[in-house]
């Protein structure tokens, strides 16, 4: 239903319904109709939901068109809550309700005793309250301490005393979250964490439309679309969702992590705070390295697959890498701010809290596991930029004993100047998308990427003392022929004997 400034009373509302200006329909039918209209217009169904167009979204559409309650099963960081909140866009912009009703009573057919009494007392002159779509979404994180009073309701003795009511009167009851979501969407995150007796209350009120509050029966045939989320490990292995409730959930939809780096990059770009008022330029290869870290973590055997690696990890890592680049730029007066690959190593604290380690990983340590992930990510991305580039000249320079002492705090001008001493290094770095006209911080970042890529692929070495250096011992000058060596040895021997003889006579 859409609001109209001309509709202020129940009588006006009835006239608008009779003329076909406003439609009355259950919430699940309302959501279905609005989704169908979007499909006909070929509009974007769920803006901001990326990478699910061929997998999750079709299943979600089918569930809504079937008017089913549903559950989203997925590991952390798979946009389950974002999907639930996006459902509000399928609600009508406004709906009418009885003023002061706790459960958003329909003025035409109220459910609560409060609404019925007010309708009988005021009739067609009863004023109308219009509710926006955002207020029709109720979300609850399930925790073991949630009570039936929180979800369904309880007797309010103070309310009864003030109104001179019996404790068993519906007017003395305080309604919980589920009744307050009437004529809207009710979402429960992490359903398996909800106590079994609370789950009983949920399926009973949804299926039969009645519930007992403190032993008093109350008929509440609620009009609500209910959606759940759960971790699949909890849902299938630990079995905390009671069977009767599972039986009443119409669709089980499994989410997943992004299957392509391009989709993951789009999500991180959408969510990460990197603009910060301008003056920040994040190279594409840095974004790819950050995203590849998450892909590497999801396949790393030292990391627990059951807990997953959230999409929030690359978002946090990119934001921290940009912050490290800002710190360097502020200290050195550089502009623009250009993050480097070494800044990703500075973001280790934003990685280690985002994954759970297996026993082997615990032995190695979270920091070392994170460093290994970054190194593997850099190696993979490096191939995409320098696979066809001849870097032998650069590698030979280091193997001949050359070294560069650089760090994530080295200013851009110094880095470029030091790197210019390495034959072919600056020229090769141009494959990362820079040229002679590029800002110095961008050139420095490209050089840093090239050096880190060679290090990641074990073609050069890096340590805290020498910085970047060769993987081999410095090469010695070519040896002379054996005959020449023998002649030199004989000459040295004669000379030595002469010195000894002279010393003897003296």
**In whole numbers, what is the pLDDT of the chain averaged over residues?**
87
Domain assignment of residue 495, yes or no:
no
pLDDT in tens, 396-423: 999 999 999 998 899 999 999 999 999 9
Q: How far is the CA of 84 from the CAs of 136, 206, 229, 234, 338, in angstroms?
A: 13, 19, 9, 20, 36
Q: Examine residue 293 and state whether it is found in any structural domain, yes or no.
A: yes
At how many degrees (to 10) do helices 440-456 and 392-399 cross?
Answer: 70
pLDDT digit string (tens) for 74-131? 998 999 999 999 999 999 999 999 999 999 999 999 988 889 999 999 999 999 999 9
What is the mean pLDDT of the segment spanning 137-158? 84
Q: Residues 342, 448: contact at Cβ < 8 Å?
A: yes
Residue 400 lies in a domain: yes
How many residues can be counted in the chain?
506
Question: Model confidence at 168, in pLDDT bands (50, 70, 90)?
Answer: low
- Domain identity same for 161 and 249: yes
How far is the C-alpha of 2 from the C-alpha of 451, rounded, in Å? 61
Question: How far apart (Å, rounded) are the C-alpha atoms in residues 279 and 268?
Answer: 19
- Name the phi and psi angles at 113, rounded to 5: -60, -35
Domain final position from 208, 223, 254: 254
Please give the tally of structural domains in the chain.
2
Q: Which two tokens stand for residue 281?
A: 């330029």
pTM for the model: 0.83
One DSSP character per residue, 155-181 reads E-HHHHHHHT--TTSGGGEEE-HHHHT
Element (H, E) at 463: strand 460-463
| Cβ–Cβ under 8 Å, residues 33 and 63 | no
Which of 230, 254, 278 delimits the end of a domain?
254
Cα-Cα-Cα-Cα dihedral sign, residues 41, 45, 48, 51: negative
Is there a single domain that holds both residue 354 and residue 216? no
Percent pLDDT > 70 in the chain is: 85
Peptide bond into 475 cis (omega under 30): no
Least trusted range by pLDDT, from 90-104, 126-140, 221-235, 353-367: 221-235
- Name which residue leads in pLDDT, 160 or 122: 122
In this structure, the answer to whether residues 285 and 238 fall within a common structural domain is no
Q: Are residues 207 and 283 located together in one domain of the fold? A: no
User: Pick from 223, 254, 285: which residue ends a domain?
Assistant: 254
Which residues constitute the domain of residue 435? 261-470
Are 283 and 341 in the same domain? yes
Q: Is residue 209 part of a domain?
A: yes
Is the distance from CB of 103 to CB of 243 less than 8 angstroms?
A: no
Alpha-carbon distance 471 to 34, whole Å?
Answer: 64
Q: Assess whether pLDDT exceeds 70 at residue 484.
A: no
* 35 and 171 share one domain: yes
The yes-or-no verdict on residue 502 having pLDDT over 60 is no
For 425-446, how does the pLDDT look when each residue is reduced to its tens digit (9 = 90+)?
A: 999 999 999 998 999 999 999 9
Inter-residue contact 65 to 32 (CB < 8 Å): yes
CB 69 within 8 A of CB 60: no
CATH number at residue 190: 3.40.50.300
490 occurs within a structural domain: no
Domain shared by 376 and 244, yes or no: no
Same domain, 302 and 223: no
Domain check: are 115 and 195 in the same one?
A: yes
- On whether residue 22 sits in a domain, the answer given is yes
Q: What letter does residue 231 receive in the DSSP assignment?
A: -
């Amino acid at each position: 239903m859409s609001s109209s400034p001309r509709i202020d009373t129940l009588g006006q509302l009835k006239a608008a319904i009779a003329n076909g200006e406003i439609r009355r329909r259950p919430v699940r039918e309302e959501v279905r109709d609005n989704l169908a209209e979007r499909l006909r217009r070929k509009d974007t169904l769920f803006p901001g939901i990326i990478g699910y167009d061929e997998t999750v979204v079709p299943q979600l559409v089918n569930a809504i068109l079937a008017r089913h309650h549903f559950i989203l099963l997925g590991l952390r960081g798979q946009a389950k809550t974002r999907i639930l909140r996006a459902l509000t866009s399928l609600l009508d912009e406004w709906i009418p309700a009885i003023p002061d009703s706790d459960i958003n009573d329909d003025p035409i057919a109220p459910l609560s005793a409060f609404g019925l009494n007010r309708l009988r007392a005021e009739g067609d002159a009863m004023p109308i309250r219009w509710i926006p779509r955002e207020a029709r979404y109720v979300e609850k994180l399930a925790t073991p301490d949630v009570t039936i009073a929180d979800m369904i309701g309880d007797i309010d003795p103070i309310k009864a005393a003030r109104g001179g009511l019996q404790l068993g009167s519906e007017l003395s009851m305080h309604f919980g979250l589920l009744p307050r979501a009437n004529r809207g969407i009710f979402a429960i995150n992490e359903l398996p964490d909800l106590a079994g007796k609370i789950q009983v209350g949920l399926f009973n009120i949804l299926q039969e439309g009645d519930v007992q509050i403190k032993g008093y029966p109350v008929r509440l045939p609620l009009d609500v679309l209910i959606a759940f989320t759960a971790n699949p490990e909890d849902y299938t292995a630990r079995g905390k969702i009671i069977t009767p409730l599972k039986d009443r959930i119409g669709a089980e939809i499994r989410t997943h992590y992004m299957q392509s780096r391009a989709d993951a990059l789009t999500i991180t770009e959408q969510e990460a705070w990197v603009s910060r008022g301008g003056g920040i330029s994040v190279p594409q290869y840095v974004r790819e390295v950050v995203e590849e870290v998450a892909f590497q973590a999801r396949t790393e055997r030292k990391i627990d697959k059951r807990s997953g690696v959230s999409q929030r990890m690359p978002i946090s890592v990119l934001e921290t890498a940009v912050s490290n680049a800002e710190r360097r730029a502020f200290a050195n007066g550089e502009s623009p701010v250009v993050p480097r690959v070494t800044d990703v190593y500075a973001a280790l604290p934003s990685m280690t809290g985002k994954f759970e380690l297996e026993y082997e990983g615990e032995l190695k340590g979270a920091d070392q596991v994170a460093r290994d992930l970054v190194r593997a990510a850099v190696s993979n991305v490096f191939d995409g930029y320098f696979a066809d580039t001849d870097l032998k000249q650069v590698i030979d320079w280091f193997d001949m004993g050359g070294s560069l002492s650089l760090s994530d705090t080295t200013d851009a001008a110094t880095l470029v100047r030091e790197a210019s001493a390495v034959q072919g290094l600056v020229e090769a770095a141009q494959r990362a998308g820079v040229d002679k006209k590029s800002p110095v911080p961008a050139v420095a970042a490209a050089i840093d990427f090239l050096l880190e890529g060679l290090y990641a692929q074990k073609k050069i070495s890096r340590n805290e003392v020498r910085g970047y250096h060769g993987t081999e011992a410095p090469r010695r000058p070519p040896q002379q022929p054996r005959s020449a060596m023998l002649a030199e040895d004989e000459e040295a021997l004669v000379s030595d004997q002469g010195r000894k003889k002279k010393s003897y006579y003296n």
